[in-house]
Structure 1
């Protein structure tokens, strides 16, 4: 069955959503932005029909699935309207600007019985799935090390709506990319981060003459409910790194490493040395990896392919079929729990327990 989608927002990530909708065999009906002129321009780029505004698109009988791809501060209004309209919803993270808002949106979606999805897309690399399968089958993890580094804010004059806490929320670097890193760690290990201590840093007190109240750098020590300890680093001011999400998990028998900028490979370390194993070869044995592997060996799969796989799974679930490991609004709440803990720990300079939150399977409508 082909579902009809509408996208609220017309930026870079909207184009990624548009390509993934079509790759999954569904129809992109239209797009809406903050203004009619913006909608016209976005519709031209995305090859869709412009709607006058977001609410016209959400309320349209021609739209089955609403994709919310707008600044964080507007998510609540659009998600609320879509839930009341009974629409299936894909919302970019962070789901809400804080934990209270994220929880309210999840509760609304559950009570309205509308299915949801949140793009924690790094779960959809074959190497990530292979790592998860091996960790589930192998000796217990001992240590996790990870980082997510970007460089788009290394210049003190760089500005974006994400820097503005009224539009993006009280956290920037962690809420924007740190939650991806933590979601990846929890996904591959099967553990939850139960405690953390965080330090946050603003590289510049001002940007473009405006005060900065959100962080550029976060350093974390974490402990999981399975007894794993770890160190995580998040930065948007690291020269030469565009989207360097790296995670290594050390177990009693081997270590496993994944680099999002080189995602076709899984590194495996033993006392004999480090080897590199490639997607779509005999080394990747898990059915979980095969589920998100589309191309033969030597034909690289990248971020858009991972996003396509996420949308394929999301729309499969929207059609009423069960999909394992699909991130939904409960995962958005989980990210907000972690963000709240990071901000609280940085404020008081001490370890903080991460609030309990529902797993995704507990919140499926």
Structure 2
């Protein structure tokens, strides 16, 4: 059994640091997985007490107090600049961790979290939750079974519009809190993880360009990017293009991946997660989520029967349930661990290096 997990058959006692949107999502998923919602901490006592009441936690505390309680699992849902610090402290206190991405704002810090977990005999995961849509698992199973043939090309994008205007503000815009990358670290990392997860291959080198469309927001200068375009080469020889933008009018969370192999193509659209397009030269099919016809790993993530829509929270619930199983010594399929969190930071750094040098860059290995 992994240290920091539940013992003696009792449900894990968990703490959540952060009471914003992600803190609420994590809390709902923890409750669905049967955890005891022990303690929540936000930036101050008033906010912590309010979060405890709203989210159903037994107690509220400061961040220091929560970490010192050595809970079974700590969910880190705070701004990016404190992810590594809080993760390290939770690991030192004997807690397993679920840390929002990015695991850290630089690769040495991300590697330090991974190393500390290994030293302590603990474990951690990072919520690349789009892996947990059943139709993503179906795409992965079909690709891994050879149904699409050899990978040729990838055409993918992640488009949002929530920072479209110069008056739109958020802590992620601030380099001091969000880190040196915004659009790519925030949503481009999800896109890369999803692609690599489906095709079972890695982006080995890339060339990228970015634009900061609004150099000032709310009267302050902005250094982080609004849009990113990437051309990528994969270790297996395939090529691909990725477009990432937080300034795409009308696009709320448009994450799309189209993958072409020598035998078939597939396309997944996160805003239509119950469907998977599967195309061959002689026919194209629109597959719908049905556990009776899907591969086993996809079917196990079907929380409701066919025809009853599943979505983002369902995927998050599955991720947290698999994380808890992992912490208790299980080996669930396709779980994003701390190693995947380090990988995401390394890809982001390769993008930033390419932008600064205006050249192709190799992605460093974990």
TM bracket, shorter-chain basis: over 0.9
Q: Which runs of 5+ in 2 are unaligned?
A: 1-8
Once the two structures are TM-superposed, the CA of residue 281 in structure 1 deviates from its matched residue by 5.3
> Are 2:270 and 1:260 aligned?
yes
CA deviations on 1:208-248 (whole Å, 9 max, x unpaired) are: 11100000101000011111110001100101111111001
Say whether residues 1:69 and 2:69 are aligned partners.
no
Distance 2:243 2:59 in 1: 41
Instruction: Give the count of matched residue pairs.
Output: 355
Deviates more, 1:288-297 or 1:4-13: 288-297
Residue 176 of structure 2 is matched in structure 1 by 166
Deviation at 1:282, TM superposition (A): 4.8
Displaced runs of 4+ in structure 1, greater than 3 A?
none
2:57 matched to which residue of 1? 48
Deviations 1:106-128 (A, max 9, x none): 11111111111100001001111
2:316 is the alignment partner of 1:307:
yes
Q: Distance in 2 between matches of 1:87 and 1:31?
A: 15
Q: CA RMSD in A?
A: 1.1
Q: Deviations over 1:32-71 (max 9, x none)?
A: 011111101211221113433111011115x211000000
- 1:81-230 to 2 correspondence within 5 Å? 81-138=89-146, 139-230=149-240
Deviation, 1:324, is 2.4
Instruction: Name which of 19, 31, 37 aligns with 1:28.
Output: 37
Aligned to 1:37: 46
Does the 8 Å contact 2:297/2:333 carry over to 1? no
Q: CA deviation at 1:274?
A: 3.1
Superposition TM-score, scaled by structure 2 size:
0.95
**1:277 and 1:283 in contact (8 A); partners too:** no
C-alpha separation in 2, matches of 1:120 and 1:9: 18
1:72-107 Cα shifts (integer Å, max 9, x gaps) = 011122111101111010000000011111111111
Q: Is the 8 A contact 1:55 1:81 kept in 2?
A: no
Shift of 1:273: 4.5
2:292 touches 2:299 (CA, 8 Å); kept in 1? no
Q: Structure 1's 9 and 105: CA in aligned 2 closer, same or farther, altered over 3 A?
A: same
SS in 2 for 1:309: helix
